[in-house]
C-alpha cells in the first residue's frame, strides 16, 4: 500500500527541523568495470563503494538559524521519517550539511532548503 508523505519529519542532532514539507534520500553504489577479453561482446561489472546524499526543504522559521544554518559543515545524526497508519519508515545515519539555500520572495513565503552528504552507512527501518 502506498504511503502519503504528509506524515514526514526531519531531525538533525535529535532535534526536529520545524515546518519541513519535502525531503529526499538518494543512496547509490559505484560500479566497477570488470570487462576483460573473456567477456565476449558484453561488459561486466561489480558493485563498488556505496554513498548517500539527501535534501530537505520547507518554510523558513526563526529557529532554523541555530538548528540548520549554523550547522553547515558539521557532522550530525540525521533522521528522515515518513509515518503511515500502519507504521513508519525511518532513514538515518551520520551526515553533514553541504549547502543551504534561503529564498525570500516578495510575493510568497520564505523557504529554506539544505543538501546533505552521508558519511558512513545509511540505515532504513
- For residue 67, what pLDDT is reported? 86
- Report residues of the chain scoring pLDDT below 50: none
Number of domains in the chain: 1
- For residue 100, what pLDDT is reported? 96
Q: Extract the C-alpha cell encoding 89.
A: 519508515
Q: Which is nearest to 47 in space by CA: 63, 30, 64, 60?
A: 30
Domain that holds residue 11: 5-124
State the pTM of this model.
0.88
Give the domain CATH number at 46.
2.30.110.20
Q: Which is nearest to 51 in space by CA: 74, 31, 37?
A: 31
Contact present, 78 and 56 (Cβ < 8 Å): no
- For residue 85, what pLDDT is reported? 77
Amino acid at each position: 500500500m502506498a504511503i502519503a508523505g504528509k506524515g514526514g519529519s526531519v531531525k538533525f542532532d535529535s532535534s526536529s527541523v520545524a515546518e519541513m514539507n519535502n525531503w529526499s534520500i538518494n543512496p547509490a553504489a559505484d560500479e566497477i568495470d570488470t570487462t576483460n577479453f573473456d567477456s565476449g561482446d558484453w561488459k561486466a561489472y561489480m558493485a563498488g563503494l556505496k554513498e548517500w546524499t539527501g535534501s530537505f526543504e520547507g518554510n523558513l522559521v526563526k529557529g532554523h538559524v541555530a538548528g540548520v544554518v549554523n550547522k553547515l559543515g558539521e557532522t550530525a545524526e540525521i533522521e528522515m521519517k515518513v509515518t503511515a497508519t500502519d507504521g513508519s519508515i525511518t532513514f538515518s545515519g551520520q551526515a553533514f550539511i553541504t549547502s543551504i539555500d534561503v529564498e525570500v520572495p516578495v510575493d510568497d513565503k520564505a523557504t529554506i532548503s539544505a543538501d546533505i552528504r552521508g558519511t558512513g552507512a545509511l540505515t532504513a527501518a
